[in-house]
Structure 1
Amino acid sequence: MTDALPSPGKAEPRLPIEVCERVIEEVYDDYYSFVSTSLATLSNCALVCRAWRPRAQRILFEYVLLRDKDALNRFAQLLDASPELGTYVHTLELRGYLHVPYSPAVLFLTALRGKLTNLAEIYIYGFDDDEKAANPLPEGEKELPFLPIYQYFPSLLTSISHIRRLAFVDVRFPSFGDFARFLSMLPNLNTLWCGRVSWAVLGLEPVCMAKRSSHDSRKMFLPNLEVLVCYDMDEQGRQRLLSALGPSLRTLWTKFPNVPPAVRIEHYRLDVEQETPSLALNLRSFPCLDGLYCCFVPFTQRHDQTLESLRDTLISWMASSDDVVGDLSPTQRCLYLGPTNRRPFQREEFVALLRPIGPVVEAALCRKDTAEGDLQDQTSGDTNDRLEVDPCRAGLVVQDLGDRLEWVDWWRQAVAECFPTLLRWKRLYVYPTHAGE
């Protein structure tokens, strides 16, 4: 009987190591709510055995989350001891109190310089009010009014000039110029996310954002930017950012209404009367912009103003299609509508929001003369002498409704009533169960 039992020294693993590695890979989830748990689990995986360690460490260090200067210093010391770990880092997130003298958003460029050779993405997130309440500063310490950027800070950004994605959320710069100079040092950016970004001083438009007539892309501002997400930014700063971008932009996410942070912004010349900035975005200079995402929050208090800004934004977008350089076909352009957050809306409430939006969207996306001609032919009964022409210059997707499967038919019927022309020409698409992250 004992001879039939395997010897402890000859025991074979129950699963091939390749299977174990696939399981380890599935542990990680980059959604913020699950990052901490994922990293803790990967740390435990790295301690199981030598066979598990390489794959667990590679995934563990692919996404590094640093909350304060102490965590930053510990990570820098770890990379000094094990430099190969720095090559695993693909995404760096700095999340915490940023407007403090020892801000990790400023110190990381010095502490980690030259150590993250494969870094591709950086997320710089300030704590929101709930996170600040749950993680108060030590007694006696206070936040600064903005990021503690110093004179030579932009020169340090050359060490990360290769990154492709950058995100700012709840970040305040000393001036708009500091924000622009930060971006200008990252010419390889493909995606830029700006949420509730602000500055203490607007100032004059910085030289680095001036459009140049040269065809040398190295002299342009963010020459490779294809995706821009811009939520709740100061109106004048938002317009400046857009006006500095070139034709490379293909996707734009924006929010209606735009609600800038409630902070006082000083202007460079107080003796000159400041013009009220337009709430609409001017998209005429983006002939290759084929995806426009408009996310909504309840706007009962700014109803007319919000609809007007949406209308003017869409009109300028359609006008850009007349540019010979872009000349995107209607099948290539698509407008995406959805709630920024589904929770504030009941079903009927969001449909009630879409009803006044419908005529605005169709007036901008559909050629008026063609639509009227079709209508006249239908009413006169003379439809044989004239072929109907599709008036739609773009498609429309209503998404991020995040509802249950049994409500699919209800949503599609309710949304269809808001966009009858787009429905008729089969350019309306509704995704009731899809929920954006």
Structure 2
Amino acid sequence: MTDALPSPVEAKPRLPIEVCERVIEEVYDKDYRFVSTSLATLSSCALVCRAWRPRAQRVLFQYVLLRDKDALYRFAELLDASPELGTYVHTLELRGHLHVPYSPAVLFLTALRGRLTNLVELYMHGFEDAKKAANPLPEAEKELPFLPIHRYFPSLLTSISHIRRLDLVDVRFPSFGDFARFLSALPNLKKLFCYLVSWAVLGLEPVCMAKRSCHDSRKTFLPNLEELMCYDMDEQGRQRLLSALGPSLRTLWIKVPNNPPAVRIEHARSGVKQEVPSLALNLRSLPCLNLLCCSLAPFTHPDDQTLESLRDTIISWLPSSDDVVGHISPSQRYLHLRPLGRGYFKRKELVELLRTIGPIVEAVLCRNEAAEGDLQDQTSGDTDDRPETDPCRAGLVVQDLGDRLEWEDWWRAVVGECFPTLSRWRRLYVHPTHAAYTVEQWQDYGLTPQDYADHQLSTVLPDTVLPDADLPDAILHDPHRRKRDVLKNFIAQFIPVRRRLSQRQSLEDEG
């Protein structure tokens, strides 16, 4: 009889480690609203066992968020102890109080220099007013009017000159020249997003934005940039930035209306008349720009100046008759319209805004000559011999509506009514249910299409009789067509009929 205990059997994992690694990779969420939760989960995964640690660390350090200089220096010490972690970093975000003496947006270049060799994206997000109030600075520390950039700052940017994307949110530079030199040091940028970017002094156009010579059309400023977003940026600086770019730019995002920061400390010379900057953009220098995307912000009373600036911007984007270089066919050119945020709108408010800008957009995107020629052919009866010519110079995409499936038909109908010519020629593309951020909801998200129909019914007299020519057979043969229950079944499909009736009644009242 032996006293020996049975040898311990090494426990084997129930799932292959490759399956666990795939699950760990799916934990990470790049969206800032969920990144804190995903990073906490990844930290827990790294502590489960030795087999999980390498993959969890690799995913965990793909995204690094630094809120202040203390977090920056702790991260630098961690890289001193484990240099391989720096190679995992693909995205670095500096979020918080950036306009302070020891700003992490300035110090990170020296603290992390040469360690983030695989960095792809850099985000600089300053706090907006609400965040500043919720996260006040210590009493001994005061906020500066702009980033504390020093004279050697652009040269330090060479350590991250390989990045492909830069986001600047609520960042203020000492001058427009500092902003331009910051960008010029990043020649490999493919995506640049600017929101509430400003400067204390506009000044003269910096040398880094100029062409090589007056006879050379090649651009040396951001030569690889493909996508640009400019929201709420000073009009003069925004136009300078666009004019300095070249044929590499394919996509431009703008906000309508544009509301740049109102703070400026550049004073005009006394007695010198200041020229009012144009609100419209001149896009003639961007021959390969095939996507012009407009994010619509709510404005209750669209003024003529805003609508004219939108019209002039679209006109400058479309090719003129003498444009040869970089010409894009109409089938490849698209104007995108989307709400800036669904939480800013009720559904009907966005529709009313689309109705306001619809005639302006169609007047620019659709050739009048073709429409007049088609009309002459129809009146002369010679429609069979001459096929109609597509008058659309570009397609129109209405996107990020992000609604429930039951609203799909309603959205397609009302948006098509706002752009009838584009809809007729099938150059209108509506995305009612797809959205980039599905958590954003309309202010009246809980309503249904039937609720909208009931609201329309409440605005119509119960004894109103619609013209027989405009009603379907189901109503024509119903002896009680004055009743609300019959109209209720068809109101969602015949809103345009009701609008024509309202216009007809108003004309009769005026007569």
TM-score normalised to the size of structure 1? 0.95
Shift of 1:323: 2.6
- 1:72 partner letter: L
Alignment correspondent of 1:123: 123
Alignment correspondent of 2:173: 173
Q: Is 1:152 aligned to residue 162 of structure 2?
A: no
Alignment correspondent of 2:43: 43
> 2: distance between equivalents of 1:19 and 1:253?
40
Shift of 1:301: 4.2
Gap change, CA 1:326 and 1:402, over 3 Å in 2: same
> 1: distance between equivalents of 2:7 and 2:362?
76
Shift of 1:37: 1.0
2:211–2:217 Cα contact (<8 Å) kept: no
Shift of 1:170: 0.2
> 1: distance between equivalents of 2:45 and 2:216?
51
2:200–2:264 Cα contact (<8 Å) kept: yes
**Counterparts of residues 1-20 of structure 1 (less than 5 Å):** 9-20=9-20
Gap change, CA 1:267 and 1:381, over 3 Å in 2: farther
Alignment correspondent of 1:114: 114
Alignment correspondent of 2:465: none
**Counterparts of residues 408-419 of structure 1 (less than 5 Å):** 408-419=408-419
Shift of 1:271: 5.3
Shift of 1:165: 0.5
> 2: distance between equivalents of 1:391 and 1:265?
48
Alignment correspondent of 1:258: 258
Find the residue that maps to 1:64 and give its secondary structure: strand
Alignment correspondent of 1:3: none
Alignment correspondent of 2:326: 326
2:268–2:274 Cα contact (<8 Å) kept: no
Find the residue that maps to 1:133 and give its secondary structure: helix
> 1: distance between equivalents of 2:44 and 2:73?
22
Shift of 1:270: 5.7
1:299–1:306 Cα contact (<8 Å) kept: no
Deviations 1:162-181 (A, max 9, x none): 11100100000000000000
How many pairs are equivalent? Answer: 431
1:177–1:205 Cα contact (<8 Å) kept: yes
> 1: distance between equivalents of 2:47 and 2:287?
53
Deviations 1:213-239 (A, max 9, x none): 47696x611111110000000111101
> 2: distance between equivalents of 1:383 and 1:107?
71
1:106–1:148 Cα contact (<8 Å) kept: yes
1:321–1:328 Cα contact (<8 Å) kept: no
Q: Is 1:343 aligned to residue 343 of structure 2?
A: yes
> 2: distance between equivalents of 1:321 and 1:20?
59
Taking only aligned residues, the RMSD between alpha carbons, in angstroms, comes to 1.7
Find the residue that maps to 1:319 and give its secondary structure: coil
**Counterparts of residues 241-320 of structure 1 (less than 5 Å):** 241-267=241-267, 272-319=272-319
What are the ranges of 5 or more consecutive residues in structure 2 without an aligned counterpart? 1-5, 438-511
1:87–1:116 Cα contact (<8 Å) kept: yes
Find the residue that maps to 2:150 and give its secondary structure: coil
Find the residue that maps to 2:319 and give its secondary structure: helix
> 1: distance between equivalents of 2:320 and 2:45?
52
Deviations 1:321-378 (A, max 9, x none): 8532211111111111011011121111111101121111111111121122112222
Deviations 1:256-300 (A, max 9, x none): 000001212415756532211111111111111111110101123
Shift of 1:41: 0.9
**Counterparts of residues 75-86 of structure 1 (less than 5 Å):** 75-86=75-86
Deviations 1:150-208 (A, max 9, x none): 11111101111111100100000000000000001111111100000001111111111
Q: Is 1:427 aligned to residue 389 of structure 2?
A: no
Q: Is 1:366 aligned to residue 366 of structure 2?
A: yes
Find the residue that maps to 2:387 and give its secondary structure: coil
Find the residue that maps to 1:9 and give its secondary structure: coil
Find the residue that maps to 1:65 and give its secondary structure: strand
What are the ranges of 5 or more consecutive residues in structure 1 without an aligned counterpart? 1-5
The structure, 1 or 2, with the larger RCO (C-alpha pairs under 8 Å, 6+ apart) is 1
Find the residue that maps to 1:166 and give its secondary structure: strand
Alignment correspondent of 1:70: 70
Shift of 1:8: 5.4
Alignment correspondent of 1:388: 388
Please identify, of 19-28 and 344-353, the stretch whose mean Cα deviation from structure 2 is larger. Answer: 344-353
- 2:319 partner letter: A
1:202–1:267 Cα contact (<8 Å) kept: no
2:232–2:259 Cα contact (<8 Å) kept: yes
Gap change, CA 1:11 and 1:215, over 3 Å in 2: farther
- 2:348 partner letter: E
Gap change, CA 1:226 and 1:265, over 3 Å in 2: farther
2:176–2:199 Cα contact (<8 Å) kept: yes
Q: Is 1:30 aligned to residue 16 of structure 2?
A: no
Deviations 1:393-428 (A, max 9, x none): 111110111211101111110000111111111100
Gap change, CA 1:270 and 1:206, over 3 Å in 2: farther
> 2: distance between equivalents of 1:107 and 1:28?
27
Gap change, CA 1:100 and 1:118, over 3 Å in 2: same
**Counterparts of residues 103-252 of structure 1 (less than 5 Å):** 103-213=103-213, 220-252=220-252
Shift of 1:128: 1.3
2:319–2:327 Cα contact (<8 Å) kept: no
1:167–1:192 Cα contact (<8 Å) kept: yes
Find the residue that maps to 2:318 and give its secondary structure: helix
2:335–2:396 Cα contact (<8 Å) kept: yes
Gap change, CA 1:122 and 1:313, over 3 Å in 2: same
Find the residue that maps to 2:344 and give its secondary structure: coil
TM-score normalised to the size of structure 2? 0.82
1:189–1:225 Cα contact (<8 Å) kept: yes
